Structure 1
């Protein structure tokens, strides 16, 4: 089973929907949590069908901001317990293990002075320690100075408040593999600021139930946030663990150049290393999705094909 959390920063245009579709094609998640959709429920329902998922629960946006959406495949047993503009709380059953656990998705209040309301919400949702509990989302806060690059130094009191709520609720950061920061400013002619705002945390009981779980910082040709995924099985079994290969036969196709150009342009702008890395990953993902549609999986998986490693 795989879960994805992504602050999509608006899905009201074809670029955003295409980026989400490509992400789901590559990662094949069972559950997807979207933040800042900036869409009404009817629009999210249409997108759910388009990206090949079965169920959805939507907290619609207010005006032109906010909006949460939870999408899933019908192979899941999922029950919504509570929700607000800043969270969706559910009970979820793993079909392979038959384990019932609590899954809370959080959007940290973007207004610094009101961030304490998010922490109180998490405390309110706290369960006894014998119930497996997983929490994910964009917390809009970092845990330590090392999780921020550029800009003014984060105030210690703000980080302490975040650390304290995790400690009070017996939640532990699950770590990650991939790029260090999940958000990067894209404003032109300003200093680039990068932070690790998105994460998965869980209590000890949940970690005991899923000891092989792994978190990955993915990429998408859209938004200033990286999608983050959680695989509940051994990380070695992750679909995209193998090295990306550029297939020689692609050069003969006129569409290849268009795919690369489109995904490079659609990825977050900027010339910093994080932005360039996102562009490269966006292109590789775009090429893999295009290849699968045009030639089928066998073209990439064939051991006899000529390729260039990257």
Structure 2
């Protein structure tokens, strides 16, 4: 069983344009859709679509309209009562797959609400194989929130605690790497570069590996680094592997990294070797990028093309 925590869920609205976005102009949309989103929710939806058990923990008010979309996703959700409502994020995509995103900050959580989210996550993690902590933090939540969650879960379950994966950015990721010692982090190249104070824009897998080796295994157990169209890199204490996605038609890149993490976790829970974990992560990320909005890929959406995995030195 897998548990995800989404501290800052979002109602993801995706607008598809028939032509490139023209700032300052009036354009007619081709289509639009809404999905229950936020990184942890996206991971959970992909896991459930694969037929695996998953519980999604999130703060959610009883009268929040987001709950309609959440129920439509079919997730087993643990809702932590809060006063504020879930934010809405807007993604605009064009025929070339270029995505423009506008993300709102989310509702502020009180100290009591923060503690309730931590307690709910600890409770939900009983007997879990993985706990995935994913996404940005809402206003009022300190940068070390994920560190607090990790400490609370490990304090209760000790050696029986689930493996913990973190998909975050900026100060939240920096705090986790400095103090949380997660089993896995999943930054993209930009987030990894920001973490270590360098630019990885357009960098190849070997360059990203040289940077990630400063973190694995000294600070984190492993790193799954997504590189966009250039594929992904898996770094573990005893090896590193790189892979590129098969050819696809990109529709929306929103949630592709979340699906990659879901693919990795699914492969790990069934005992796959590192190269197969990376291969499934690549397939899930490519499938998500070929679907509209933040639609979670199902097994039938995974591309058939070859995914070459190379072991790096």
TM (normalized to structure 1)?
A: 0.40
